[in-house]
Amino acid sequence: MMLRSDLAQVPLYAVEPADVPVDLSDNTSMWGPAPSALAAAQSMPAGGSLTRYPELYSASVKQAVARYLGVDPEMVVVGNGSDGVIDAAIRAVAAPGERLAYMAPTFGMIPVFARVNGLVPVAVPLLPSLALDVPALLAAEARVTFVCSPNNPTGHALARQDIEAVIDGAAGMVIVDEAYAEFAGTSVVELVRRSPRLLVTRTLSKAFGLAGLRVGYGIAQPELVRQIEKSRGPYAVTAASERAAVAALDGDVPWMRQQVQLAVEARQWLVDALRDRGLEPLPSAANFVLVPVADAESVALAMLAHGVSVRAFSRLPQLTPALVASAGAALRITVGPMNMQQAALDALDAVRS
The residues of the shown chain that bind ligand PMP, judged by CB under 6 A, are 27, 81-83, 107, 148, 152, 177, 179, 203, 205, 211, 216
CB 76, min distance to ligand PMP, A: 14
DSSP assignment letter at 200 = E
Q: At what angle do helices 109-116 and 81-93 cross, to 10 degrees?
A: 40
CB 1, min distance to ligand PMP, A: 31
CA dihedral of residues 268, 274, 279, 283 (deg, nearest 10)? -20
Residue type, 66: A
CB 48, min distance to ligand PMP, A: 29
CB 205, min distance to ligand PMP, A: 3
Query: How, if at all, do strands 76-80 and 120-125 pair?
Result: unpaired
Nearest CB to ligand PMP, comparing residues 267 and 306: 267
Nearest CB to ligand PMP, comparing residues 33 and 81: 81
Closest-approach residue to ligand PMP (CB): 81
Nearest CB to ligand PMP, comparing residues 211 and 351: 211
DSSP letters spanning 129-181: TS---HHHHHHT--SEEEEESS-TTT-PPPPHHHHHHHHHH-SSEEEEE-TTH
Nearest CB to ligand PMP, comparing residues 175 and 329: 175
* DSSP E strands, 166-234: 173-177, 198-203, 215-219
Measured distance CA(58)–CA(65) in Å, rounded: 11
Nearest CB to ligand PMP, comparing residues 205 and 341: 205
CB 346, min distance to ligand PMP, A: 26
Nearest CB to ligand PMP, comparing residues 205 and 241: 205
CB 349, min distance to ligand PMP, A: 28
Measured distance CA(239)–CA(77) in Å, rounded: 16
